[in-house]
Chain A
Amino acid sequence: DTAVSQTPKYLVTQMGNDKSIKCEQNLGHDTMYWYKQDSKKFLKIMFSYNNKELIINETVPNRFSPKSPDKAHLNLHINSLELGDSAVYFCASSSPPRGRNTGELFFGEGSRLTVL
């Protein structure tokens, strides 16, 4: 069973298009995240959702919109794609640190977006 799964794994599209990436976790975690990793390999937080409430939105253009239908899903919708949006997008989930749980993030396999 895959703990955090995201689809599609690869996405090639033209500038100006709209696309979505889906993410699901079966770990029962309270918080889900979207990260962007660019060619320099720097992981940048985009959004996180805790029990369907947005709790982080780090200077991300409003062309990006997260949608969480329930605690186990956090989808990423991108409007009017630009060349600079090309990157790998990682979904992740975690639960609060408690006892032996360190609160570490569990990542999906990543979705490589290429905008032409």
Chain B
Amino acid sequence: QLQLVQSGAEAKKPGASVRVSCKTSGFNFKNYAFHWVRLAPGQRLEWMGWINAGNGKTSYSQKFQDRISITRDTSANTAYMELRSLRFEDTALYYCAKWGQEEEALDYWGQGTLVTVSS
């Protein structure tokens, strides 16, 4: 059974960093790319970046370019998203999603991780 299971909710102060994990199972992790998308209160879904789990190549939205790192651990079948220099407006639900090669779309999603930035 294909699954993407994300790490639990995080509470951070402005200026801190957060790392969210996305542990996968049920398929060959290295054959796919994984994207990160967030949903902030009152906002639309926002694409942040992606990683090719096979070769580790990444691409980031220019909006987050200076503050984001997406990595993977192939031995653990897990993708990670780190966001640095957190701001109040980074409070959001963060999702990882698998890129479907046939569909060329985000075909499976993690359950989401709530990151709250508060002083």
Q: A and B: partners? A: no
Residues of B within 8 A of A (CB): none
